[in-house]
Amino acid sequence: MTTATLTHPPRTYPSLRAAWIPLAALCLAFFVEMVDNTLLSIALPTIGRDLGAGTTALQWVTGAYSLTFGGLLLTAGSIADRFGRRRVLLIGLAVFGTLSLGVLLVHSAGGLIALRAGLGIAAAAMAPITNSLVFRLFDDKALRMRAMTVMIIVGMSGFVLGPLLGGTALAHVSWE
- Torsion angle of the four alpha carbons 129, 131, 138, 159, in this order, in degrees rounded to the nearest 10: 120
pLDDT confidence of 39, banded at 50, 70, 90? confident
Q: Looking at the predicted structure, is the pLDDT value of residue 146 above 70?
A: yes
Q: Looking at the predicted structure, is the pLDDT value of residue 8 above 70?
A: no
Ramachandran sector of residue 13 (left: φ over 0; alpha: ψ -120 to 50; beta: rest): beta
Ordered alpha helix ranges (H), the chain: 16-51, 55-83, 85-103, 109-137, 141-172
Q: Quick: pLDDT tens for 103-145.
A: 888 999 999 999 999 999 999 999 888 888 888 888 888 888 9
**CA-to-CA dists, residue 107 to 30, 93, 119, 127, 134, angstroms:** 28, 24, 17, 29, 39
Q: Is the whole-model pTM more than 0.85?
A: no
Residue 29 C-beta-side C-alpha neighbours within 13 Å: 29
Work out the average pLDDT over 17-32: 87
pLDDT confidence of 19, banded at 50, 70, 90? confident
Work out the average pLDDT over 27-34: 90
Angle at 70 between CA 64 and CA 71, to 5 degrees: 85
Structural domains of the chain, ranges and CATH numbers in brackets: 19-43+56-172 (1.20.1250.20)
Tell me the residue type at 175: W
Length of the chain: 176
